[in-house]
Amino acid sequence: MKFFNYLTIFLIFCTALQASEFSEGRTLDFYRARYNFVKNSEGELLKVIDKGIKSNFNFSKYSLKQGSWFKENKGSLIDDLELFSRKGNDKAAYQSSKLPDYQEKMDDLLNKIERVDLNLVFNHPEYQKMASIVDSELNKQSKIKYQTIANLEDSSYFYRKTVYRELLKNILKLAQNTFTSALGLDVFTYMAERYFDFFHESRRYRQSIFLHYLNNFSAQELGLTKLEKDKALSSIMEADLNWFHYFGHRSAVRNWDQYGNKMLLSVKRKSKKRIKKLKAKIIIGAPTVLNQYYALVNYKKGGEAISNTFYKKGLFSARPTPIFYFNSPNYVFKKRRFYELYKFASVFVPVPTFSFLTRYYLNLKYRRQIMKEGMIYGRYESSQQPLMTGHLLKQTLNPVIKHFLF
């Protein structure tokens, strides 16, 4: 037992040590291995292709694996309830009066889930029929389009790409006429939505890795011209636009060459304002800015952490979001695991509004943050620190990112 305690202390020490080595030993080895640069006959860069983005679709296999993961980890819904009760990452500060209520509700929810045989749901002919349709429709889509992480010649490339959203909508509409069981339909709907999300978030994560390289290496080091670098940056930032961001889209079209730089400057300003929300009573010293989206923050309760300074902590908090605590490397992973498990568990509550609101509230706590964490992954990758990249991959809880990143 002592051995494992010493091993844990050693790993925490190594992780903390790596925090002080952010800028050491930069390398472009992974950059050179990962990307294909598509050029025209004049040698001008048109697109950047990420070779590591896979499009091997098997929805049935995914469902069974995620179902097994849920069954293996659902006990964490009880074990990790204390994380909901903590203030920050402080093991001593619990809102203990609320804990029994959480436990009682969670016990009730788990009892309902225990009565459901998920394998029976996933192997049902109706589910298998819809799983085949999902794979068939996704495999019709262009692999190259999916692997494109930057399109320098099209200022509407990602804004206009609604094909996957429309595809999912049509699949879910078909599912409503296929399933005779409400439970089967609810489970399929959740699994399909999350499946599409995982692939979308995987590409966004990898775009953020590319953003790290654009942000920290010169155009010459990257083998690009200055204009190509600026346009690639614009394309990455254009991917942040949702379909309802009409004016943001118009801004990108009008000022394509400098749109990315302009947006990063805007992010930097907003992050600076959010850092000011960190009062002296909760932090020690001034945060160290890492890039436009992240800073190292030393919390009085929790210790040093990498925090996302652009996205707020949640629906009711304006503070930055801690995404990794150096003295507790699994803390964020466990919280996110709790959120994923709880969202899936909410499918079994026969109140659709509750399920939707639960997911919306929890998604704000970590989904947007994960998509930008590729910038931190890239930072550790380019300084050759695999222990940290391993931690960061693990806490994405995204099987597409974890299995296919190289």
pTM listed for this prediction: 0.87
**Is the pLDDT reported for residue 13 higher than 60?**
no
Pairing of strands 148-151, 288-289: unpaired
Does an H or E element contain 317, and which? strand 317-325
Give the Cα separation of 400 and 61 in Å (integer): 13
- Give how far the C-alpha of residue 85 lies from the chain's centroid of Cα atoms, to the nearest Å: 24
Instruction: Average the pLDDT over each of 2-16, 107-121, 123-137, 221-235 and give the range with the smallest value.
Output: 2-16
Q: How confident is the model at residue 276 (pLDDT cuts 50, 70, 90)?
A: confident
299 three-class SS: strand
**Token pair belonging to 15:** 């992780």
Any residues with CB less than 8 A from the CB of 345 and at least 6 apart, and which?
74, 77, 109, 110, 113
pLDDT digits (tens, 9 = 90+) for 115-153: 888 899 999 999 999 999 999 998 888 777 889 999 999
Q: What is the 3-state secondary structure (H, E, C) of 87-140?
A: CCCCCCCECCCCHHHHHHHHHHHHHHHHCCCHHHHHCCHHHHHHHHHHHHHHHC
Taking residues 19-36, report their average pLDDT: 76
Q: How confident is the model at residue 288 (pLDDT cuts 50, 70, 90)?
A: very high
- Other CB atoms within 10 Å distance of the CB of residue 285: 9
Any residues with CB less than 8 A from the CB of 372 and at least 6 apart, and which?
208, 293, 308, 310, 311
Any residues with CB less than 8 A from the CB of 156 and at least 6 apart, and which?
238, 249, 252, 253
Please give the radius of gyration of the chain, using alpha carbons only, rounded to the nearest integer: 22
Share of the chain above pLDDT 70, in %: 85
Sheet of strand 303-314: strand arrangement: 288-289, 294-299, 303-314, 317-325
Give the Cα separation of 319 and 305 in Å (integer): 14
Give the Cα separation of 234 and 248 in Å (integer): 12
Taking residues 149-168, report their average pLDDT: 87
Alpha-helix runs per DSSP H in 239-351: 246-254, 256-275, 331-345
Give the Cα separation of 83 and 16 in Å (integer): 22
Model pLDDT, residue 25: 60
Q: How confident is the model at residue 245 (pLDDT cuts 50, 70, 90)?
A: confident
Any residues with CB less than 8 A from the CB of 135 and at least 6 apart, and which?
57, 58, 59, 60
Only one residue has tokens 């709790």, namely: 338
